[in-house]
């Protein structure tokens, strides 16, 4: 495989690129570039799909989020850090971007595949597959299948029979069957299940039917220590032959040996990874089982088959103090089996919430990029020192309203310019209208996300980004005002 940055795609009748692996991965994950888009590499003109190119790249069997999509902590953090221009007037962006010491890596989306499914509202009755209903979880969730007659897992071997693969239009993760209050559910991470299409299968390839509507901890019920809890469950339709049960707090606090079970690397292979509980908190545990991407949503079980946690994410502490210590890479799981206050949801509802979080992030990044563009009487132009990461943001934001607005504004400006002299005031007004529409769009998206996100997990992800979004938006608005006051006497919005 060629170096990153030498990938090309064919879209809208023309060649685009070169694009780095990171930018392409983010664009596919955010949906701005469909996974089935034709793609090829610099030294290999054979057309494949973007999904296949990413799959083939050895470094991209992903350390992206268990929290991906979004939101996408690794990619977006790098974008925010690198998008700061070397020019002095961009230094204020650093406050919003931060110099994060700890990067969070979520573990799903290890296996990209083009989706051949129809639109998101078309209902099918394929066994084991969730095609989210249009009411998106408003009605109460159906009762799960009873566990009468099911064997309670009591060994690691028993536990393996309860582990499932979670396949979505976004990627892959792990799930498992467990009992609560005499009923059987399929449990996984919220970030795994946030997808238009979601299917659970066992490791023999058989589909496991679940109800379309599931349950998640909502923001109105999440205690402080449960904020952002990354667990969702779907009622199992048919009684299972074997079922896991949850460990009690006393057993977890003994920090016993544990095994993380799941689809490591998204290779459709069940792996059993041994380790030990290293620490216990109010709602999470830390283990040293070496789970990776693809294990998201899988059970962390004790030797007697009790679920002590659900594998969720890794942290990479980049400070000099952590280097070479066990604090450098840490693996975290949520403690299930607590008396959560569940609220109805669906995979599609969670996918919509994921999209709101992602859109707010890419919009903030675009505001930074727009402020870097040169303002000319022929439209927007990229300056000579336009950073690569800004170019990547533009690629990732294909079909975004602000991205389209850049082109439309340039076309309007060029048309005005071609009319001759005396139109400078008009094209300056055109620029200002566009800048204000950008700020208004982000304001509306932040309000929409705050209003519509109901799950504790995605609300927590959104809240973590608020300081960045607000700092970017406030800076952008203040620069619009300076630009307007100066009569456009600058080459870029940021230089105003």
On the question of pLDDT at 109 being above 90, the answer is: no
- Report the percentage of the chain scoring pLDDT > 90: 48
Q: What is the pLDDT of residue 65?
A: 37
Q: What is the pLDDT of residue 121?
A: 28
Distance, CA of 297 to CA of 137 (rounded, Å) = 21
Distance, CA of 195 to CA of 350 (rounded, Å) = 7
Alpha helices in 113-193 (DSSP H): 156-160, 190-193
Mean pLDDT of 220-236: 79
Mind listing the pLDDT tens digit for each residue in 246-279? 999 999 999 999 999 999 999 999 999 999 999 9
Q: Of 36-45, 125-134, 260-269, 307-316, which gets the smallest average pLDDT?
A: 125-134
Distance, CA of 396 to CA of 83 (rounded, Å) = 14
Strand boundaries in 148-241, DSSP class E: 151-152, 163-168, 172-180, 183-188, 197-201, 213-217, 232-235
The dihedral of CA 292, 294, 300, 305: what is its sign? negative
On the question of pLDDT at 122 being above 60, the answer is: no
Distance, CA of 71 to CA of 355 (rounded, Å) = 8
More confident residue, 3 or 341: 341
- Token pair, residue 430, equals 């055109």
Q: What is the pLDDT of residue 298?
A: 96
Mean pLDDT of 57-82: 36
What is the number of residues in the chain? 496
Q: What is the pLDDT of residue 17?
A: 76
Average pLDDT, the chain: 78
For 58, phi then psi, to 5°, come to -60, -35
CB 435 within 8 A of CB 370: yes
CB 250 within 8 A of CB 337: no
Alpha helices in 19-128 (DSSP H): 21-30, 50-56, 73-82, 93-97
Q: What is the pLDDT of residue 132?
A: 39
pTM above the 0.95 mark? no
Mean pLDDT of 29-37: 68
- 103 strand-pairing partners: 316
Q: What is the pLDDT of residue 420?
A: 64
Q: What is the pLDDT of residue 107?
A: 58
Distance, CA of 5 to CA of 308 (rounded, Å) = 42
Rg from Cα positions in the chain: 24
């Amino acid at each position: 495989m060629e170096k990153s940055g030498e990938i090309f795609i064919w879209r809208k009748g023309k060649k685009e690129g070169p694009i780095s692996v990171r930018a392409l991965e983010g664009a596919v994950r955010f949906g701005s570039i469909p996974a089935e888009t034709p793609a090829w590499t610099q030294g290999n003109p054979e057309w494949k799909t973007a999904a296949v190119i990413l799959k083939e790249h050895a470094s991209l069997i992903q350390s992206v989020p268990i929290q991906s999509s979004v939101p996408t902590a690794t990619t977006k953090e790098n974008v925010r850090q690198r998008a700061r221009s070397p020019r002095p007037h961009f230094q204020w962006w650093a406050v919003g971007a931060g110099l994060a010491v700890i990067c969070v890596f979520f573990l799903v989306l290890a296996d990209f595949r083009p989706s051949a499914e129809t639109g998101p509202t078309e209902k099918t009755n394929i066994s084991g597959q969730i095609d989210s209903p249009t009411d998106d979880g408003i009605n109460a969730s159906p009762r799960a299948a009873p566990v009468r007659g099911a064997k309670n897992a009591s060994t690691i071997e028993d536990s393996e029979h309860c582990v499932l693969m979670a396949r979505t239009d976004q990627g892959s993760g792990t799930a498992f069957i467990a009992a609560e209050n005499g009923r059987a559910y399929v449990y996984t991470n919220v970030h795994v299940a946030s997808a238009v299409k979601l299917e659970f299968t066992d490791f023999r390839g058989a589909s496991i039917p679940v109800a379309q509507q599931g349950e998640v901890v909502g923001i109105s019920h999440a205690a402080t220590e449960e904020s952002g809890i990354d667990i969702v469950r779907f009622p199992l339709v048919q009684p299972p032959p074997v079922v896991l049960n949850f460990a009690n707090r006393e057993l977890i606090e003994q920090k016993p040996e544990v095994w993380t079970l799941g689809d490591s690397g998204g290779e459709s292979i069940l792996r059993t990874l041994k380790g030990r509980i290293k620490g216990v908190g109010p709602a999470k545990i830390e283990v040293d089982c070496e789970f990776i991407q693809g294990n998201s949503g899988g059970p962390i079980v004790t030797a007697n088959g009790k679920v002590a946690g659900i594998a969720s994410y890794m942290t990479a502490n980049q400070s000099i103090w952590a280097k070479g210590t066990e604090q450098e890479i840490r693996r975290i799981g949520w403690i299930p089996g607590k008396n959560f206050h569940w609220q109805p949801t669906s995979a599609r509802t969670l996918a919509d919430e994921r999209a709101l979080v992602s859109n707010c992030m890419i919009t903030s990044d675009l505001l930074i990029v727009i402020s870097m563009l040169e303002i000319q009487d022929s439209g927007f132009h990229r300056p000579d020192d336009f950073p690569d990461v800004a170019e990547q943001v533009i690629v990732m934001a294909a079909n975004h309203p602000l991205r389209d607005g850049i082109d439309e504004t340039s076309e309007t400006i060029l048309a005005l310019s071609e009319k001759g002299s005396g139109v400078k005031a008009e094209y300056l007004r055109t620029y200002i209208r566009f800048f204000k529409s950008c700020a208004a769009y982000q304001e509306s998206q932040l309000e929409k996300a705050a209003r519509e996100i109901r799950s504790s997990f995605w609300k927590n992800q959104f809240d973590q980004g608020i300081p960045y979004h607000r700092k970017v938006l406030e800076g952008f608005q203040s620069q619009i005002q300076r630009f307007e006051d100066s009569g456009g006497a600058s080459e870029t919005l940021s230089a105003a």
